[in-house]
Structure 1
Amino acid sequence: MQQRQSTIARWCAWLIEGGWLMALVFIPSYFNLLSSRHFEPDKATMLRSIVVMMLTAGVVYALDRAGSAPKAAAPPQQPSWWRRLIAFPMALPVLVFALVFLLATLTSITPWVSLWGSYQRLQGTYTNLSYIALAVMVVLFLRRREQLDRLITVGVLGALPAVGYGLIQHSQHDPLPWRGDVISRVASTMGNSIFVAAYLILILPLACYLALAGFRTARRDTASENRGGAWGWAAAYGLAIAGALLIAYASICFGAVVRVPDLRYWWVYPGGLLVGLGLFVLPTLGIHRADRLRTSLLWPGIVALGYALWLGFMFLLGQGGDQQVAASAGRGGTEWWIYLVLGVLFVLGSYALFYTLPRLGESSRVLSLMQGVGMTAVAVLVGMTIIFTQSRGPWIGAMAGMFVFFTALIVIAWGRARRESPARVALWRGLLIAEIAVTVLAGGFLVAFNISNAPIFEPLRTMPYIGRMGRLLETDEGTGLVRRLIWSGDEHAGGAVALITSDPLRMVIGWGPESMFVAYNRFYPPALANIEARGASPDRSHEAYLDELVTKGVLGLASYLFVLISVFTLGIALIRRVDDWHAQALVSACLSIIVAHCVEGLTGIPIVSSLMLFWIAIATIVCVGLLYGQVRFGAQPEPEPAPEPAPAAKQQGGRSRRGAAQRGAAQRGPSQRRDESAGLGWLIYTMVFALGIAVVWFTNIDNVYADMRFQQGQQYTEGANAGLQQQIAGAEFYLDAIRMEPNQDFYYLSLGRTLMSIADIQRQTSGTLGAVKQDAQLRDLLQAESAPAMLAQMQPLVAMSYAQAVLDQAYKINPLNKDHSANLGRLHAYWYSRMDQDPAQLDEALQWYQNSNAKAPQDVVILNEYAGTVALKGSYSESKGDAAAAQQAYVQAEQLLTHSKELDQKYPDTDIRLADLLRIQGRTAEALDRYIAIIASSPHALDAEYNAVIASVQDDKAQLGRLRDAYEQALAKTPDDATLTEIIGRIAVPQGDMARATSAFESLVNLEPQNPEAYRNLVVVLSDTMQYSRAADQAASWAKMLQAQGDTQQAQQIQGLESYFRNLAGG
C-alpha cells in the first residue's frame, strides 16, 4: 500500500525539484559584478546554497514520511545495507569517489583550502560533494516522466541567457566593459571563452535530442487538431521565453550603467534570472491541455511583473541622490528600461494567450513540430556561440560527443529496423558506415592539417576559426607551450609530472583538492613565467586527469574512472533493454555529454557549470532506468497491504451506545497525542530549515558578501590618485571582509599593502616616524570602535607594525603559500628603505626571503628580490666600515643573480639588478655598460630608477654622454615618447647642456600638456638659465592647467611664481 504524502512532504518535493531547476538556470548564467571574482566562485556559492536547501528539504521530507508511516506488525526481512547499496546502479562508484575526496581532504597539505576551496576557484570538497548531492537528490525525487522532460527542457532553455549574451558580445553590443577581448572570442556569462564553450558543448546534445524528439512525435502524431489554436500556443510559449531573455538582458544593462557607491542593487541580476526560471518552466507544464488554469500558474507572471515594478520603483527612488546613470565609453545600456518593458509586455501577451486560446488534446502535431524547429534553432545558436569562442579543446569535445550521440541513434534505428522493418536495415547500415567513414576522413584531414606542410594547408592555417584547428600540436608557442610547460616542465623543473612522482605516498593519495597552487611551487618551470603572469603559480594542470593525480593521486583517478566505466556500462545496458525511443535517445544524449566533458578535459579545466551538468547527466541516466523499471532502489520487498478490518456486528440498545461512547473516549487520547506530535514535528521542521539557512549564510552568502566588501575596498585603494583618505576607506572595507571571512588569506594581503601605503603617506606628510608598536595585533583593528579614526591617527612605524601583524596572520593561515613569506620579506625591506634604516629589518627581510625561496626555488622574482636585499645588506655594512661583510654580501648577491639568469635568460630585471650591484660597489663604468645594453633592448626598463643611475655618474661627463647617447638612439625610433624625452632632459642638466635640457622639456610639455611635472622641469631649467620672461610664460600656462584640473590652491602658488619671474624679467 503506497503511503500518502502530507502537505509538508509535497512542499518539500516541490522545493527540491525547484532547486535542481534553479541550478540549471542560475549556475551557467549567474555572475556577480559587485564581487571581486565575478564568475566561478560566485557560481560555486550559488550552487552550494541551492544544494544545501535541497538537502534541508530532503531531511524534512524524510522526517515527515517516517513520522507518518503506518506501523508494521513485524518489519519485513530486508537485505543488509551493503547489499542494497551495491544492488543500486552507480551507488558504489559514487560512494567510493566521495570517500576518496574526503580522504584526500583529510590528508591534504592544505586541509582548510581543500575543504572550502581556493579563493580563485572555490572548487574544494564542499563544492564537489554538492555536485554529487545534487545528482543524488535528482535520483531520489524525480518520480515521473514529466519531471524528467521538465529537467531536460529547462536545462536547455537555461543556456539561452549565456548563448544570447555571447552573441551580443560578438556583435559588439555588450554594455559591460570587460578587460579582455570578448568580441573575437566570446566569454559570455563565464568570463572565459574556454569555460563557456566547455559548458555549451554539454547542452548541444540535449538540444539535439529535444529537436529530434519533437520532429519524431510530430511525424507519428496523426490526430486531428485545431491548427490555429496550436500555432497560438506555440506563440504563447515563445513569448514567455522571449520575455524571460529580455528581462535578463535588461538586468545586465541595468548593472552596467546604473552606478551607486553601495550594494543596494545586488538583487537585480539574480532577480532577473529568477524571473527567467519561472517563465522557462511554463512550457513544460502542459498548460495547453489543462482543463483549467491553476492559480499557481500565475506565479511566474506575477513575479515578472512584480520584479519590473519594484526595479522601476527603486530606480526612481534613487534619483537625485548618489545614483548615477552612465554608459561606458562607446557602449550602450542606458536603454535597459526599454528591454524591461518589452519583456513584461511579452509576458503579459503570453498570459493573455494562455487564457484565451482553446485547449488542445493530449498531443499536438503543431506543437511537437514547433518544439523540433525551436530546439533546432537553439542548437544552431549554441553551435554558433561555441564557434565564436574559438576554443579548440571544447570544439574537439563537441565533435566527440556528437559522434557518440548520432552513432548511438543510428545503431538504435538499425536495431529497430531489424525487428520491425527489415527493408530499412540497409538504409541505417549505410548511414552508420557513411558516418564512420566521414568521421575517419575528418580525423585524417585533421591529422594531416596539423602535421603536414603541404602548400594547400598553409592558407587554411591563417583563416579565422578553421586555422586554429591546424595548430593543435604546436607546443613551442601560445597555449600549447603553456600546457607543455605545466605538464612536463623545462630543463630546470619537471612540472606536474615531477610533482606527481616526487613522493610515493602522495602519488597514491594526492596532495589534496585545491592544493596544486602551493604544491607546484618546487616544480615550477621558470620558462613559464615568460608566457603567463610572472610569479603566479598554476592551480590547475589544464588537463583534468593530471589534476586528479595531483590532487587525489592514483586513488582519485581510479575512483573517477570507476564512475565513468560504471555509468557507461549502465547507459549501454539501458539502451539495449529499454524499447522506448525517447528513453534510448535521452540516454544516448547523456552519454554524449559525458564523452564531450571527458574529451574536453584532456586540455581543459572542469568548471562549476560543466561539472554540474556532468553529474546531472549521470543522474538522468539512473532516472531513466528507474522510470522504465530497469533500476530499483535496493532489494527491499514491497510491504504487504494491511488487512481490512471486518465490519462490526450490529448491536442493540444501550450496549451499542456504550460501545460508541467507549470508542469515543478511547479515541480522544490518541488524537491529542497526534496533535502534540504534529506540533513537535513542525518545531523540528522549523529548526531543520533554520539550520539549513544558517549553513547557507555562514558558508556561502557570507563568503560572497565578504568579497563584495573586498571589491569596494579595492575601488578606493587601487585608484590612480588614492590618497590617505582613500586608503583609510579601503582599509575599513578590507577589515569588514576579514571579519566575515577570517580564514581567507587573500584579504590580508591587500590590507597589509594598504597599511604600508598609509605609513608611507604619513611619513611624507607628518615628518615624524613615531615608535614601533611591539604589541600590535590584528584584533586591535578588527575590534576598534572606529577603525578609520584609528588609522588616521597612526604614525608611520605604528602602521608598519600593524601591517606586519596582518601579513603574519596571512602566513599563519597558509604557511605554504610562497607569496606570504615573500610579502613579509618585502615589508621588512620596505621598512628599512623607507622608514628608519634599522638593520634588524634587513635581517628579518633576508629570513623571509630565504623562507620563500626554499618553497619556490625557481621563482626568479623572489630570487631577485632576495638578491637585492642581500646587496642592500652589503651597502649597509659598507656604510658602517665593515668592508669584509660588505664584500661577502655582494658576492652572495651576485651568485643569486647569476643563478637567476641561468633559470630565466629573458627576465630583464636580472640584468638591471646585476648592473645595480656593480653601481653600488662603485664600479660605474661596468655598470653603465650593462645599463646601455639594457636600454638598447628595452628603452623603458630603467624608468623606475633612472634618477639613481644618472646620480651615480653625474660627475663623469663622458659617462653621462654615453648614457644620453643611448637614450637619444632610443628616442630616434619613437620621437613622441614622453618618458624618454624627460630622461634626456634630466641627463642634459648635470652635463651642463642647458640648451638640450630646455629643448627636451619644451618637447615634454608639448607631448603632455596636462602633466604638472613637465611644466615644473621646464620652468626650473628656464629659471636656472635666467630666461625669466619665458619662465613666467610657462608658469602662467602651468597655473592655467592647474585651474582647469580644479587645483586652485596650487594654481595660486604658481601664479605667485609667475609674478616673481616677471619682476625678475622687468628688473
Structure 2
Amino acid sequence: GAVAWALLAALVLVTLAYDFITNQQGLANSAKIVANALTVLIVNDAPTSSPALLWLFLFTWFVGGLFALSQTPAARAEDDKPLARHLTTLAIYVGITLAAFLAFALPHASRIQPGADVALAIGPYYGAALALLFIVALALWRETPLPTLALRPATRWVQAAMVPLSLAICAVLIVNLNLGMVKADIYYKQAKFYDQAQNWDIAIRLYQEAIDYARDQDYYYLFLGRAYLEKATAIANAEQRAPWLERAQQTLEGARQLNPLNTDHSANLARLQRTIAEMTDDPAEREQALSRSLQYYEDATALSPNTPKLYNEWGLIHAMRGDLETALTKFQKSLALDQQYEETHLYLGNYYLNQQRYEDAEDAYLKALEIKPDLVQAHSALGYVYSKQGRLEEAVSENLQVLAISPADYASHKNLAILYQQLGRYAESLAEAKAALENAPQEERSALESFIAQMESQLKSSGAN
C-alpha cells in the first residue's frame, strides 16, 4: 500500500543522504551542511553552485510518489472518491518521506562536522535502514496478513521466541561480519590521507582503529607496519627510533602470521631489516639485520619464485654484505626471468659502476632507458659514467635529460654546475649552482655558496658579464 511505498522511498532517500551528504567546506551547522551538499560543488578548491544532487533527490522522491499513488484504491477504480484518496495518499507519502529524510540527514550532518569521527556515521545508517525495513514488513503484514501456521498450543511459544532470537542473531552477524569491516575500511581510507601527507602519528592511530574492527585482515597490518617504519626513519636519535622499529617488526610479523602465503609480508620484513642495516652505526647490528633480510628474501622467493623485483632486492643485500659474486648471480636470475624489467638493468649498471666497469655499466643503463626512456636514475647514472670517461658533453646531455623530467632535481643542477666549470662555461656553471642552491640540503649549502663565489670571481677575472 501507500504506507509501505512511502517507507521504501524513505529508505532510498536515507541511503542517498548517507552516500551524498558530505561536508566539503568543513561547516559546523547541520542544516547548512545538508543544503550545501545538495546545491554546492567544490571545483578547484572553490565552491560552485551545482543543483545536480538536489535534482537527483527530487526526481527520486517524485518517482517514489508516483508508485505510492499507483497503489491507492482510487488508482485501481476501487473508490468513489478518487481525489480525496489521492490527496490522503500524497499527504502520507510526503509526511513519511520528509520526516524520515530530515530525521536522518540532520543528525548525519552533525556526525560529519569538523573533529567528528566520521567512521561512526555508518552505524546510525544501518540502524535507520533496518528500522525502516522492519516497519515496511509490519505495514505489508498489516495490509496482507500471512497465513497462520497450524501449531499446537504447546509449541506456539517456540514460534514466539524465534522472532526476537532471530533478530538478535542477525544483529550480531551484521555488526561482526559487515559493519565492523565497513568501519575498518573507513578508518583505513582516512589513514591513507594522512599517510600521503606524511603525518605518521595520525596515520598510525587510524590504522590501529581499522585493525580494532578487523583483526583478521592482514592488509591493515601491512600499512600500519609501514607507517611505524616511516615514523622511525624520521627520528635521528637511535634510542628513540628503536621502539618504532620494533613495533614495525612485530606488526609485519603479525601480518605474516595471519596470511603466511602472502609474499608481500616476507618481502616487507626483508625491506625493514635492510632499512635497519642502513640506519645503524653498529657493525654487529648491521650484519645481524642483513642476515635476517637474506632469510626473509629466501622465504619470499620461495613463495613467488618468478618475481624479478625480489631477486634484485635480494642481490642488493648480498652486495651490502660484500658478497658481490652472489649479488651478480641474483641480478642475472632476475634478468633471466624478465629481460624487459628496467629495474634489473639499473641494478646491473650500479653493480658494474661500483666495479669501475664503465662500458658494461653504460650498456646496462642504455638498456634500461630503451625500456623506460624517462627513468631518471638511469639518466643520472649514465651522466656520471660519461663524466668518469671524460665524455663531458654527453654527461651534460644526460643531466639535462633528468631536468627535463624533474626540473627541481638538486643533484643534476649540482652536476651541471661542475660539468660546465670543467668545460669552461662559467656563466652556465654559475646559473646551475644558483639553481642547485634553491633545493640544496642544509649541510651542503655552505659548499655551494663557496662554489658560487668562486664562479663569480672567475667570471669577473675573465671579463664576462
TM-score (norm 2): 0.59
* Separation in 2, partners of 1:312, 1:974: 42
* Separation in 1, partners of 2:319, 2:457: 48
Mapping for residues 836-915 of structure 1, pairs under 5 Å: 836=281, 837=283, 838=285, 839-851=287-299, 856=303, 858=305, 864=311, 868=315, 871-872=318-319, 875=322, 905-908=336-339
1:689–1:744 Cα change, 3 Å: same
1:317 maps to 2:33 = yes
From 811, 814, 817, give the equivalent of 2:256: 811
1:942 maps to 2:345 = yes
1:835 maps to 2:277 = no
* Separation in 1, partners of 2:9, 2:387: 75
Q: Which residue of 2 aligns with 1:992?
A: 390
> Residue 6 of structure 2: SS of its match in structure 1?
helix
1:728–1:1021 Cα change, 3 Å: farther
* Separation in 2, partners of 1:1003, 1:894: 29
Q: Give the letter aligned to residue 337 of structure 2.
A: K
Q: Which residue of 2 aligns with 1:761?
A: 234
TM superposition shift of 1:702: 1.0
Mapping for residues 173-572 of structure 1, pairs under 5 Å: 294-304=2-12, 316-317=32-33, 325-326=42-43, 335-351=52-68, 358-360=75-77
1:295–1:716 Cα change, 3 Å: closer
* Separation in 2, partners of 1:1002, 1:869: 28
TM superposition shift of 1:948: 5.3
1:966–1:737 Cα change, 3 Å: closer
- Contact 2:383/2:394 (<8 A) preserved: yes
* Separation in 2, partners of 1:297, 1:867: 63
Structure 1, residues 229-283: CA drift from partner, whole Å, max 9, x if none? xxxxxxxxxxxxxxxxxxxxxxxxxxxxxxxxxxxxxxxxxxxxxxxxxxxxxxx
* Separation in 2, partners of 1:1057, 1:1005: 23
Q: Give the letter aligned to residue 907 of structure 1.
A: D
Q: Give the letter aligned to residue 7 of structure 2.
A: W
1:749 maps to 2:228 = no
* Separation in 2, partners of 1:310, 1:711: 17
* Separation in 1, partners of 2:390, 2:336: 38
- Contact 1:849/1:862 (<8 A) preserved: no
From 729, 736, 740, give the equivalent of 2:209: 736
TM superposition shift of 1:1000: 3.2
Structure 1, residues 1021-1064: CA drift from partner, whole Å, max 9, x if none? 33555644223334566688x7xxxx9x99x9999789745455
1:1037–1:741 Cα change, 3 Å: same
* Separation in 1, partners of 2:309, 2:176: 36
Q: Give the letter aligned to residue 318 of structure 2.
A: A
1:801 maps to 2:279 = no
> Residue 942 of structure 1: SS of its match in structure 2?
helix
1:356–1:806 Cα change, 3 Å: same
Structure 1, residues 832-855: CA drift from partner, whole Å, max 9, x if none? 24434422223333444455566x
- Contact 1:825/1:846 (<8 A) preserved: yes
TM-score (norm 1): 0.29
* Separation in 1, partners of 2:74, 2:265: 67
* Separation in 2, partners of 1:704, 1:311: 13
Q: Matched residues, percent identical? A: 18
Q: Which residue of 1 aligns with 2:430?
A: 1032
- Contact 2:13/2:57 (<8 A) preserved: no
1:1062–1:804 Cα change, 3 Å: same
1:350–1:753 Cα change, 3 Å: same
TM superposition shift of 1:1017: 3.1
* Separation in 2, partners of 1:1054, 1:1025: 20
1:700–1:309 Cα change, 3 Å: closer
Structure with more of its chain in helix, by fraction: 2
> Residue 215 of structure 2: SS of its match in structure 1?
coil
1:946–1:890 Cα change, 3 Å: closer
Q: How many residues align?
A: 366
1:857–1:303 Cα change, 3 Å: closer
Structure 1, residues 643-678: CA drift from partner, whole Å, max 9, x if none? xxxxxxxxxxxxxxxxxxxxxxxxxxxxxxxxxx9x
> Residue 325 of structure 1: SS of its match in structure 2?
strand
* Separation in 2, partners of 1:809, 1:965: 43
TM superposition shift of 1:701: 1.0
From 173, 176, 181, give the equivalent of 1:698: 176
* Separation in 2, partners of 1:350, 1:696: 30
Aligned-CA RMSD value: 5.1
1:952 maps to 2:363 = no
Mapping for residues 765-784 of structure 1, pairs under 5 Å: 766=236, 768-770=237-239
Structure with larger RCO (C-alpha < 8 A, sep 6+)? 1
1:710 maps to 2:179 = no
Q: Give the letter aligned to residue 210 of structure 2.
A: A
1:819–1:712 Cα change, 3 Å: same
Structure 1, residues 156-181: CA drift from partner, whole Å, max 9, x if none? xxxxxxxxxxxxxxxxxxxxxxxxxx
Structure 1, residues 135-186: CA drift from partner, whole Å, max 9, x if none? xxxxxxxxxxxxxxxxxxxxxxxxxxxxxxxxxxxxxxxxxxxxxxxxxxxx
* Separation in 2, partners of 1:731, 1:1010: 31
* Separation in 2, partners of 1:1015, 1:843: 38
- Contact 1:749/1:807 (<8 A) preserved: yes
> Residue 992 of structure 1: SS of its match in structure 2?
coil
Mapping for residues 632-643 of structure 1, pairs under 5 Å: none
TM superposition shift of 1:820: 3.8
Structure 1, residues 406-454: CA drift from partner, whole Å, max 9, x if none? xxxxxxxxxxxxxxxxxxxxxxxxxxxxxxxxxxxxxxxxxxxxxxxxx
- Contact 1:759/1:800 (<8 A) preserved: yes
* Separation in 2, partners of 1:347, 1:1017: 69
Structure 1, residues 282-318: CA drift from partner, whole Å, max 9, x if none? xxxxxxxxxxx55344323444566678888766417
From 1015, 1020, 1035, give the equivalent of 2:413: 1015
* Separation in 1, partners of 2:21, 2:364: 64
Unaligned runs of 5+ in 2: 24-31, 79-148
* Separation in 2, partners of 1:895, 1:977: 24
- Contact 1:850/1:866 (<8 A) preserved: no
TM superposition shift of 1:1005: 3.1
* Separation in 1, partners of 2:268, 2:20: 47
1:346–1:841 Cα change, 3 Å: same
Structure 1, residues 617-651: CA drift from partner, whole Å, max 9, x if none? xxxxxxxxxxxxxxxxxxx9x8899xxxxxxxxxx
TM superposition shift of 1:866: 8.8
1:1066 maps to 2:460 = yes
Q: Give the letter aligned to residue 842 of structure 1.
A: L
- Contact 2:190/2:206 (<8 A) preserved: yes
* Separation in 1, partners of 2:376, 2:208: 40
Q: Give the letter aligned to residue 942 of structure 1.
A: H
TM superposition shift of 1:907: 3.0
- Contact 1:821/1:848 (<8 A) preserved: yes
Report which of the two structures shows the higher radius of gyration computed on alpha carbons.
1
Q: Give the letter aligned to residue 1031 of structure 1.
A: S
1:752–1:865 Cα change, 3 Å: farther
1:1018–1:335 Cα change, 3 Å: farther
Q: Give the letter aligned to residue 288 of structure 2.
A: A
Structure 1, residues 884-916: CA drift from partner, whole Å, max 9, x if none? xx7xx957x788888x57xx94334xxxxxxxx
1:842–1:985 Cα change, 3 Å: closer
